[in-house]
Amino acid sequence: MLIPLLTYPYLIRVLGKETYGLVVFVQAIVAYMVILVGFGFNISATREISIHRENKEKLNEIVSSVLIVKSLFFFLPFSFLVFCY
């Protein structure tokens, strides 16, 4: 909790106000992307895994599908972000 209070003045001095503002803007976009990627999977995937905990094939299918969908939800906004900048 104390580290950001010590590093913010240094970063603003080294990067400048405009560049630091851009860094904070990109951090906000990434935070929204994290929310989008993780939205609902912690609850729904956990529920499905608890229902099918004895079936190894079903567990593999659930984990694989969640990882694939999370990857898609990550790469689509990430590619948009890369092409915008």
Under 8 Å between Cβ of 35 and 72: no
Measured distance CA(33)–CA(30) in Å, rounded: 5
14-73 pLDDT per residue, tens: 999 889 898 888 888 888 888 877 777 778 888 999 999 999 999 999 999 998 988 888
Query: Structural domain boundaries of the chain?
Result: 3-84
pTM: 0.61
Q: Cα separation of 66 and 58, whole Å? A: 12
Among 27, 37, 25, 44, CA closest to 70: 37
Each residue of 36-50: pLDDT tens digit?
A: 777 777 788 889 999
